[in-house]
Chain A
Amino acid sequence: MKLTRRLFGGAAMATALMAGSMAQAQDPVRIALVVKALGIGFFEAAAKGAEEAAAELGNVEVIYTGPTDTTAEGQIEVINALIAQQVDAIAVSANDTDALVPALKKAMQRGITVISWDSGVAAEGRELHLNPSSSPLIGNMIIKMAADELPEGGQVAVLSATTTSTNQNTWIAEMNKVLGNYEGIEVVGTVYGDDLADKSYREATGLMQTYPDLKAIIAPTSVGIVAAARAVEDAGKVGQVNVTGLGLPSEMAGAIESGASKSFAIWNPIDLGYSATMLAYQLATDAAEAAPGAEIPMGRMGTLTLDDNTEGAMADPFVYDASNIADFKDIF
């Protein structure tokens, strides 16, 4: 008994020592990618991007984790466990802007780098926030996608969510600002489908009846774009009217296949996970500091410029078309 104990004790000690010396030799930077909930395709894709960044940086260990369902309480338990492990950085897509702040503040007090990405945390609970894109970039992208298919110019219409949807209204306003850059493109009207499939479908049908020469419908909403594509297919106007805007690859694969939509955009979760990991690494290794106006490199995604609220926009929304839809339609 004594012997075995001694043997085991010795072995355990040796292992511990070895682990210790290995840690000293390599000392990997441990970055935790905390997501809203596990088992969501979007976040699994982000984790892939994080692994890509880790491989590129070398000497980085990514801990991909999150609660079972999208609750702030569950995320706090996960964050407490990460604090206990003394990870180097936490990059979180938050279930709650405010509720995570006390837990994340505690993490920062104990020397852990904290950033938020995708879904942000209030400014006092993180060092920086990575937005997937920005309103001006989105506004420009939705009109650009329509214009790229219309070299001769033509009439386009917008199918939005509700009249009070802040996001959509901001994007449409940004779109109108850059409209002058696209010659011959005329926005003939904006209709509201209230993010309801049937109402969006009726509004899209109505647009095609009101404007027989309509060349494109821009729907910056994932519900509207699917409904508009269906309406175009049902009206037999595939090839005549192009549907574009913001949508999810899984829902839009059919519309791309039928030709009702030539292309659409949304952020790329792989790039998002990649950039979040890059930024967390830069801050955790003190290679960069999160301050208003700072420019922080994030590998192949360029640099992130922080605004006064220490937030930054990653890139243009990523464009999905017939060439890449197959790779993404199973992801999210």
Chain B
Amino acid sequence: MSDASLTPRSIPDRLHSPFSRLLASWDLLLLLVAVAIFIANSLASPYFLNAWNLSDATFNFTEKAMIAFAMALLIIAGEIDLSVAAIIALVSTAMGAAASVGVGTPGLVAIALATGIACGAFNGLLVTRMGLPSIVVTIGTMSLFRGISYIVLGDGAYRDYPSDFSYFGQGYVFWVISFEFVLFALLAVAYYVLLHRTNFGRTVFAIGNNPTAAQFSGIRVARVKFILFLLTGVMSAVAAICLTSRLGSTRPSIGMGWELEVVTMVVLGGVSILGGAGSIPGVVIAAFVMGLLTFGLGLLNVPGIVMSIFIGLMLIGVIALPRLWKMWRK
């Protein structure tokens, strides 16, 4: 590879060395932001640097981040799923209904995953078979899925979960390391491998950059997209298990508004909203940035409205900066 000039047919694997790419990358900038927030928080509040407090803080983002991994792949492939929070509600309602007739924890998990897969498949079929735009389809299913929860539950709630079910959202694997955080870390690695180290990941990027070209190079575009919708459904189900377990109850309003927070996390992580570019490490760092920022501001008792302004500004900055950078270079 180093002797690129020897034969005319040799094409380098990459144009820049991994290190120089890292230097210029979004991930590094984001990492610096995360570190800056961490330091600022430690200076601003005497309560920040405490193992238990930091552990509590991870709950602010772990569940959303689990969905964000799958959402990142979907957005890179040029689609989007806005029904994820509604899937949480439907999955949680299904689990609650099952728990109220005495289904045990393994059964609840199975029901959750099955419901998530069904929701994802429904979205996927509408998008890939009917050729409908995913943003329209999932805005529709967003109302549909949550609507079913509202019909089932009304203003009631399910709260008869078995006691061992609380482990998912309230359990600790080791000292302050919660089950949710471990799951988050494992999923981060799994999605990193899937997106950056497998053929499947390559096809996701190819589809996002040019679906027609991908189609003609033999990629089953519809199938890959369908699988991505399934994955998003499954991840929403996993998040629903954790959130329901953490709350110990189900109401139809559960996870309301999370779809936007998940998309924010993905875009903040450097995934192009137009598709074709992005990375899992970026999303992981973005999850930390959002979690640390909200927790740090919370410690200072900054009102939530101001927090939303911060996150909004950060998001606009993230989208505007690369554009400005390009304009400036020209």
Contacts and interface: CB of A to CB of B under 8 A. Distances in A.
A65 to B, nearest CB: 5
Contacts of B236: none
Interface string A166-188: 00000000000000000000000
A96 B299 contact: no
Given A80-B298, A102-B170, A66 B304 contact: yes
B57 A80 contact: yes
Contact of A38 (B52, B53, B299, B305): B305
Contacts of B246: 76, 102
A197 interface: no
A198 to B, nearest CB: 24
Given A73-B255, A102-B170, A86 B47 contact: yes
B257 A71 contact: yes
B210 interface: no
A5 to B, nearest CB: 14
B198 interface: no
B56 A102 contact: no
Interface string B219-256: 00000000000000000000000010011110101111
Nearest to A74: B304
Given A77-B298, A98-B247, A68 B47 contact: no
B32 interface: no
Contacts of A193: none
Contact of B56 (A72, A73, A84, A97): A84
Contact of A68 (B52, B301, B308): B308
Contacts of A73: 243, 247, 254-256, 258
Contact of A81 (B253, B254, B298): B298
Interface of B: 45-48, 50, 52-53, 56-57, 59-60, 157, 159, 166, 169-170, 243, 246-249, 251, 253-258, 294-295, 298-299, 301, 303-305, 307-308
25 contacts: A37-B304, A63-B301, A67-B304, A69-B257, A73-B258, A74-B304, A76-B247, A77-B295, A77-B298, A78-B298, A80-B57, A80-B59, A81-B298, A83-B56, A84-B53, A84-B299, A85-B45, A96-B249, A96-B251, A96-B253, A97-B157, A98-B157, A98-B248, A98-B251, A99-B249
Interface of A: 16, 37-39, 63, 65-69, 71-74, 76-78, 80-81, 83-86, 96-99, 101-102
